[in-house]
Amino acid sequence: MLLREVMGFNGAVTSDATSMAGLTSWADRAEAVPQVIQNGCDVFLFSPDAERDLDHMRAGLRKGALTEQRLDDAITRILGLKAKLGLHRLSVDERLLPKAELKERLRQPAAMALAERAASASITLVKDTGVLPLSPQKHRRVVVISAGIENSRPGVAPVPLDGVLEGLRAAGFEPRAYELANPPTRENADLVLYLVAKESRMLASRVFLDWRVLHGNDIRASMRRFWHELPVVMLSFGHAGHLIDAPGVPAYINAYSPIETVQRAVLRKLLGEEPYTAISPVDAFCGQDAARW
């Protein structure tokens, strides 16, 4: 009702992973499967047993928990989505291409432009006490403090946020990684930039800024904060509530995702090339009035 009637959305609606607790704790699967479709979801994802879920759907149809009209509507929207992506124009041989090659063929200029606009529109300037925009004249020497893009899979090493770093270099800045033996000071730096890509992962009891990791795995360094000595900007490419652990940071931005399009859009915002238009979907100040200043 909210999507269709209030917001006027006419596209396909997809579920999240239907084996997750958000669904399995709500009802028995035999009851939940037809209800998910009947209540407006068009694409049902991540079935642990697809044939059994189809049986649940058929049973729901026979019992009246799911209507043929709702199924027809879902199928129409799925076909419309496929047509929008141009899948109906692919030959049989093209449909059998390896997934990576098929995805590359579907990276059409119009779709990529839409992705850039969506990334730009999502970035939220939560707080700025006078640091932004950045410029090579004022902030040339940038010390970057980051643990990289943290992966939820065990054993997978973090990936650097290279898009931001390369963009800074191309714009005339001189970024360098934080070093425990050479911390930022007024003499060797003009700006401290925190790049945090920590998501609210499943089974994480708490998502927080691990200052010990960020500041060189040293207990004394973990207690230090740099924003009374230097301009500091914190960028979150994942969790939206890091201000609860860094209420005094002078400038804070939520970007929600570390993908390349978002990194490029963040850089344009930092340099003042694009305005910030997004409104925070959550209380990014985490109920702390002190975090606003």
Q: Which residues are catalytic?
A: 16
**Could you tell me which of 126, 161, 130, 132 has the C-alpha nearest to residue 145?**
161
- In DSSP terms, 191 is beta-bridged to 142
Report how far residue 172's alpha carbon sits from residue 136's, in angstroms, rounded to the nearest whole number.
6
Give the distance between the most distant pair of CA atoms in the chain: 75
Alpha helices in 50-172 (DSSP H): 50-63, 68-84, 92-95, 99-105, 109-122, 136-139, 162-170
Report how far residue 26's alpha carbon sits from residue 32's, in angstroms, rounded to the nearest whole number.
8
Q: Hunting for tokens 């400038």 — which residue is that?
A: 251
**Could you tell me which of 264, 200, 191, 282 has the C-alpha nearest to residue 233?**
191
